[in-house]
Amino acid sequence: MRKFGYYWKEGFRNIFKHGFMSLAAVLIMIACLILTGTVSLLAYNIDLSIRDLQQSSEIVVFIDEELTTREAKALGSQFERIGNIATIDFEDRDVALEKYREDLGEDAEILDSYDSSNNPLRNSFIFTLADPAQAEQTIAEIEAVDGVANVRADEAVISKLVQVQRVFNIVALAMVVGLAVISVFIIANTVKLGMFARREEISIQKMVGATNWFIRWPFVIEGMVLGLLAGALAFFAEWGLYTELARIAGGVIPYFQIAPFESLRWLVLSVFLGASVLFGIGGSVTSIRKFMDV
């Protein structure tokens, strides 16, 4: 307990003794956290919008006109056995004709000569997929069912969206890793500077029999406190920035789906605090090692 008090006292002493470097480390960590946080949140929202687009991308399966409406509807049970299908809706050809009439509005008279006896439309099923990335395989399975006349799906659009999503995730991950490394490097150098200034003290401590952890703890606490401070400040800054960006994006791209910050705040707070403490401690431990070999 006595030692615990000493470690904290020394940790805070280090922070204030090298006040400028501590401030620089906190500011740089805040910048890194905001950058990584914003990129991750952007990736999350793009992912959300892409998922939404993918979910709403429908596959329309037209049934052979040889089959009666009742027989066509019965194919539903076969489709249900195919994996990766999220929803199935059957569209009666007569209902489809009525809808078509409504869609045409004033021009609906071109359909005046058509009724259920000579309906030119086919019965159809409308599908949405659980995993749009597997659209190609699912479509092949649908086409293999007897009675399917034609399948209309925007496979190219779906696969393009999936590609965009993958690329964006890779870019986001690379940025997160890169900025994490920068944060550790900066904290490590701040702590190293503190240790360099105190290398005489450390060598005396080693000489009179201090254990490595006795010397290390104050520096670990220094890194942890700087990390916590940076994490907390970055969280509030991210909150403000995100809210403002969401407001701007909402006005410019109305269909872009943006999650409200309130729904993400605990996640963002725990990730920011966790990551910054980890970077802080990681930076300290990395920089201490070479000063310990006395």
199 binds another protein (CB under 8 A): no
107 binds another protein (CB under 8 A): no
Nearest CB to another protein, comparing residues 101 and 206: 206
> Phi/psi of residue 143, each to 5°?
-60, -25
2 binds another protein (CB under 8 A): yes
Q: Site for another protein (CB under 8 A): how many residues?
A: 17
**Residue 89, SS3?**
strand
201 binds another protein (CB under 8 A): yes
- Among the listed residues 126, 174, 267, 294, the single contact to another protein using CB under 8 A: 294
Nearest CB to another protein, comparing residues 68 and 211: 211
Computed from CA positions of residues 22, 27, 32, 34, in that sequence, does the dihedral angle turn out positive or negative?
A: positive
Find the radius of gyration of the CA atoms of the chain.
31
What span, in angstroms and rounded, lies between the C-alpha atoms of 124 and 73? 9
What span, in angstroms and rounded, lies between the C-alpha atoms of 161 and 138? 17
- Shortest gap between Cβ of 198 and another protein (angstroms)? 9
- Nearest 5 degrees, angle CA 188-CA 190-CA 195? 90
290 binds another protein (CB under 8 A): no
CA of 188: how far to CAs of 117, 185, 226, 278, in Å?
81, 5, 12, 12
The piece of 63-71, 111-119, 196-204, 276-284 that touches another protein (CB under 8 A) is: 196-204
1 binds another protein (CB under 8 A): no
- Shortest gap between Cβ of 203 and another protein (angstroms)? 7
51 binds another protein (CB under 8 A): no
Nearest CB to another protein, comparing residues 132 and 218: 218
What span, in angstroms and rounded, lies between the C-alpha atoms of 215 and 203? 10
**Per-residue interface string for the shown chain with another protein, residues 52-71, x marking contact by CB under 8 A:** --------------------
12 binds another protein (CB under 8 A): no
Nearest CB to another protein, comparing residues 3 and 99: 3
Computed from CA positions of residues 216, 220, 222, 223, in that sequence, does the dihedral angle turn out positive or negative?
A: positive
Q: Which residue has the tokens 């596959």?
A: 59
The H-assigned helical ranges of 57-128 are: 69-74, 76-80, 93-104
- Among the listed residues 6, 115, 116, 163, the single contact to another protein using CB under 8 A: 6
**Backbone torsion region of residue 58, taken as left when φ is above 0, otherwise alpha when ψ lies between -120 and 50, otherwise beta:** beta
- Shortest gap between Cβ of 213 and another protein (angstroms)? 9
Nearest CB to another protein, comparing residues 267 and 292: 292
145 binds another protein (CB under 8 A): no
What span, in angstroms and rounded, lies between the C-alpha atoms of 99 and 94? 9
- Shortest gap between Cβ of 238 and another protein (angstroms)? 40
Q: Which of residues 202-221 bind another protein (CB under 8 A)?
A: 203-212, 214
Residue 222 and residue 191 in contact, taking contact as beta carbons nearer than 8 Å = yes
Residue 233 and residue 26 in contact, taking contact as beta carbons nearer than 8 Å = yes
Which residues, 6+ apart, have CB-to-CB distance to 6 below 8 Å?
A: 218
- Shortest gap between Cβ of 211 and another protein (angstroms)? 5
Catalog residues that contact another protein under the rule CB under 8 A.
2-3, 6, 200-201, 203-212, 214, 294
